[in-house]
Amino acid sequence: MKLAVAIAAAVVLSGCSPDGDTDLERLALPVGSTDRTQDIWELWLGAWIAVLAVFLLVFGLIVYSMIRYRRRSDDEIPAQIRYNLPIEALYTFAPVIIVAVFFFHTVTSQNNVLERVDNPDHTIEVIGSKWQWAFNYMEEDATGEDVFDSGTPADPAELWLPVDESVRFELKSPDVIHSFWIPEFYFKMDVVPGKINSFDLSPTREGVFTGRCAELCGLYHSRMIFKVHVVSRADYDAHLEELQEAGQVGAPKGGKEANEIAGVKGEDKSGRTGEVQTGAGDYKDGAGD
């Protein structure tokens, strides 16, 4: 019976795809847009198969018990059983096994998604602060210097990315915990004061998406959004040149404060480069360290 349930669940979900035309085919996910979305999709699909299999099995047993052991006469008294050791062992160990399988596949997918690129094509410093985003494009060939874009709750920032080129995001916050989330990337990561989280990916589909903060961070949390433009390399370079012409060079507003307040290596008020602070603000650089 269990095999039949598993086969039925697999057949029902076999037509699903991260590139499907409908929300049903994508199991309520948006269309994936990076080279890291496949692992998350497979984990999501596996979770749906497991949930459907458990649901059908449990519901089937409930219906079977209702029919098989229904009361057939007013005088009938069913056998009184105080306990059933095999059944009790089953519903003790079966959930443990299910959770262990979920844990294994979750860790495997997480490791694949957070795998580092040896030499990323671009590095973008992301500053999340109440209640806005700023993006610093580091050492770009098109400009020869760092340029940035920043926004406000009333005028959200824009993040531009070149399609099919690797990008490393370095996340900083000068105040509270935020979370950098682009739904089409199937990924989000916390932006934590005192710590630099980073991750790598390559956008694979051109388009305009909406990113947002996914961590409750205060009064205007819901307005802490930004637009994501995934474009050709030529359009990407042209945008960086526009930022340079507009005088948006160097670190964005809040970037220096993020270094100082977060306790990571950066310039102090005298302009000298300070060492990494110790304690809660220790500098940690890595994919989700």
The predicted structure's pLDDT at residue 23: 73
Strands (E), the chain: 122-129, 132-138, 147-150, 157-162, 167-172, 178-182, 187-191, 196-201, 207-213, 225-231, 285-286
The predicted structure's pLDDT at residue 74: 78
Alpha carbons within 13 A on the beta-carbon side of 16: 22
The predicted structure's pLDDT at residue 250: 81
CB 49 within 8 A of CB 10: yes
The predicted structure's pLDDT at residue 270: 38
CB burial of 93-105 (b: ≥16 within 10 Å; e: otherwise) equals eeeeeeeeeeeeb
Q: What one-letter code names the amino acid at 209?
A: F
CB 224 within 8 A of CB 133: yes
Relative orientation angle of helices 85-113 and 37-68, to the nearest 10 degrees: 170
Q: Per the structure block, which two tokens stand in for 55?
A: 């649901």
The predicted structure's pLDDT at residue 30: 87
The predicted structure's pLDDT at residue 135: 95
Its pTM stands at: 0.78
pLDDT of the chain, 289 residues: tens digit per residue? 545 555 555 545 556 776 667 778 888 888 889 999 999 999 999 999 999 998 998 999 899 988 888 888 877 777 777 888 888 898 889 899 999 999 999 999 999 999 999 999 999 999 999 889 999 999 898 888 899 999 888 899 999 999 999 999 999 998 899 999 999 999 999 999 988 999 999 999 999 999 999 999 999 999 999 999 999 999 999 999 999 999 888 876 555 666 665 445 544 333 433 333 333 333 344 444 4
Q: What one-letter code names the amino acid at 122?
A: H
Q: Which domains does the chain have, with CATH numbers?
A: 2-71+81-113 (no CATH), 122-268+279-286 (2.60.40.420)
Instruction: Give how far the C-alpha of residue 5 lies from the chain's centroid of Cα atoms, to the nearest Å.
Output: 31
